[in-house]
């Protein structure tokens, strides 16, 4: 029997998954959470065999949670179950260590098949995600939203768009100029943008200048 944790911020979906999986003798639900940071700590404490993970979570997004989880518990198996099918998000999740990805618009049979497959050591992608992956391969220049940047990367992106210099950003965030440059490099890589002017334009297009403080 595989010990399972569900990390999903939508309570109705989380409870539905728990109820659906309750009769399944292959899985034992040992924990569930709607918060990224809490979910990460829960996994570190309980050390489950399998995790069902949403991509977008409060306090710690799915990509960063997955990176930390795989680093601390390398044998853990993770199925991403998400309504976010952005090519950049899918690619980031897979690079972070996900073993499968099923879209929330897929049928329950696809979800169950995906969960069983990754629990047994395989990989599985829902039909919608398989299509996204084909597009990623065909269009490697595709660019995504900033939703799955880290909180600090979003702060740097916003400050860059507001016209702050590296030193000003470093002073405002109490970090070194080198760290600011590292964040900017990561932003450009994730968003597939190669100059500060385009980075600024992208931030404006995404409406980041209208956000409040982090």
- For 138, the token pair is 């065909």
Question: Which helix (H) or strand (E) is 212 found in, with range?
Answer: none
Print pLDDT tens along the chain (214 aa): 999 999 999 999 999 999 999 999 999 999 999 999 999 999 999 999 999 999 888 888 898 899 999 999 999 999 999 886 677 778 788 888 999 999 988 888 899 999 999 999 999 988 888 777 766 555 555 455 555 677 788 888 888 888 888 899 999 999 998 998 888 888 887 777 777 777 777 777 666 665 444 3
Whether this model's pTM surpasses 0.85: no
* All structural domains of the chain: 2-138 (3.40.50.2300), 149-210 (1.10.10.10)
* DSSP at 104: T
- Confidence (pLDDT) at 213: 41
- Confidence (pLDDT) at 95: 83
User: Strand pairing of 50-53 and 27-33?
Assistant: unpaired
Of 46, 134, 131, 133, the residue nearest 98 (C-alpha): 133
- Confidence (pLDDT) at 190: 76
- Confidence (pLDDT) at 192: 76
User: Strand pairing of 2-7 and 27-33?
Assistant: parallel
Place of tokens 């890589």: 189
Contact between 34 and 62 (Cβ < 8 Å)? no
- Confidence (pLDDT) at 147: 54
84: left (phi over 0), alpha (psi -120 to 50) or beta: beta
- Confidence (pLDDT) at 197: 77
Distance of alpha carbon 18 from alpha carbon 21, whole angstroms? 5
- For 66, the token pair is 């997955």
């Amino acid at each position: 029997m595989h010990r399972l944790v569900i990390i999903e911020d939508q309570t109705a979906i989380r409870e539905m998954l728990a109820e659906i999986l309750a009769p399944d003798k292959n899985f034992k639900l040992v924990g569930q959470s709607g918060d990224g940071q809490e979910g990460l700590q829960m996994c570190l404490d309980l050390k489950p065999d399998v995790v069902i993970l949403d991509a977008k979570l409060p306090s710690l997004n799915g990509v960063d949670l997955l990176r930390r989880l795989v680093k601390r518990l390398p044998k853990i198996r993770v199925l991403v179950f998400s309504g976010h099918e952005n090519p950049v998000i899918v690619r980031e999740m897979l690079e972070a260590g996900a073993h499968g990805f099923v879209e929330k618009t897929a049928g329950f049979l696809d979800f169950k098949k995906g969960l069983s497959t990754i629990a047994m050591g395989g990989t599985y992608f829902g039909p919608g995600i398989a299509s996204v992956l084909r597009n990623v391969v065909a269009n490697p220049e595709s660019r995504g939203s900033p939703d799955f940047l880290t909180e600090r990367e979003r702060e740097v992106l916003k400050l860059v768009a507001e016209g702050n210099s590296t030193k000003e950003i470093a002073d405002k965030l109490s970090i070194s100029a080198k760290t600011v440059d590292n964040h900017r490099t990561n932003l450009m890589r994730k968003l597939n943008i190669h100059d500060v002017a385009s980075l600024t334009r992208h931030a404006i297009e995404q409406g980041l200048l209208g956000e409040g403080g982090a």
